[in-house]
């Protein structure tokens, strides 16, 4: 139903709020250490992800990057002033009838937040998502993550549901906010 072709590296250029260059591109094998470390650092904050340990290995990231070159999964990496700033994943839903839907996950490391890295990753994702036959993107965030919710809302995502007390975090139960956006050519 969906054609899979070997993906060539794609790049996008943006400017941060403080006028520094942001480069977003498809991930390549050599990015595995950055992806691994970025994920570990955000998990270690204990605030933004519903996992308590980053138990993956760099080889897991290498495998994932290589997989994206032969399937519809998308893995983007962002650099601010040529320094790793974050990454984004977009994976197709598991059901045959919802292959047009991509599930989004995003990481921005602490020192690069609030200056446009997340927005740059999201905009790039929508463009490449269309090229991979996605017409809808879904995501979720913690209800207390006002910055993320405001970013998603500003990009046209809408809240479609709330799962009450969905995550039992060290700070207590947190609601999960479900959001979606249809993307069109």
Q: What is the pTM of this model?
A: 0.91
- Whether 176 is covered by a domain: the verdict is no
At 105, which CATH number? 3.40.630.30
- Asked if 111 and 43 count as a contact pair (C-beta separation under 8 A), the reply is no
Average pLDDT of the segment spanning 38-55: 82
Higher pLDDT, 41 or 152: 152
Instruction: Tell me which residue range forms the domain holding 136.
Output: 11-140
- Asked if 21 and 90 count as a contact pair (C-beta separation under 8 A), the reply is no
- Whether 99 is covered by a domain: the verdict is yes
Going from the C-alpha of 89 to that of each of 61, 64, 78, 104, 163, the distances in angstroms are 12, 10, 12, 6, 22
- Whether 182 is covered by a domain: the verdict is no
- Whether 165 is covered by a domain: the verdict is no
Count the domains in the chain. Answer: 1
- Examine the pLDDT at 121 and tell me if it is beyond 50: yes
Q: Phi and psi dihedrals of 55, rounded to 5? A: -95, 15
- Whether 178 is covered by a domain: the verdict is no
Complete DSSP assignment for 89-138: EEEE-SSGGGTTEEEEEEEE-GGGTTTTHHHHHHHHHHHHHHHTT--EEE
Model confidence pLDDT, tens digit, residues 57-83: 899 999 999 999 889 999 999 999 999
| 163: number of Cβ within 10 Å | 13
- Whether 21 is covered by a domain: the verdict is yes
Q: What is the mean pLDDT of the chain?
A: 91
């Amino acid at each position: 139903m969906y054609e899979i072709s070997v993906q060539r590296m794609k790049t996008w250029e943006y400017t941060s709020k403080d006028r520094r260059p942001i480069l977003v591109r498809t991930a390549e094998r050599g990015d595995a250490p950055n992806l691994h470390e970025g994920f570990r650092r955000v998990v270690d904050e204990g605030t933004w992800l519903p996992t308590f340990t980053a138990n993956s290995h760099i080889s897991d990231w290498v495998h994932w990057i290589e997989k994206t070159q032969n399937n519809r999964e998308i893995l983007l990496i962002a650099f601010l002033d040529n320094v790793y700033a974050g990454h984004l994943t977009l994976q197709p839903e598991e059901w045959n009838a919802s292959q047009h839907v991509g599930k989004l996950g995003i990481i921005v490391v602490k020192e690069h937040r609030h200056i446009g890295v997340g927005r740059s990753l999201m905009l790039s994702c929508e463009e490449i998502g269309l090229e991979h036959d996605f017409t809808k993107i879904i995501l979720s965030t913690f209800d207390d993550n006002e910055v993320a919710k405001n970013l998603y809302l500003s990009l046209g995502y809408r809240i479609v549901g709330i799962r009450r007390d969905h995550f039992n975090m060290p700070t207590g139960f947190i609601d999960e906010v479900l959001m979606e956006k249809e993307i069109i050519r």
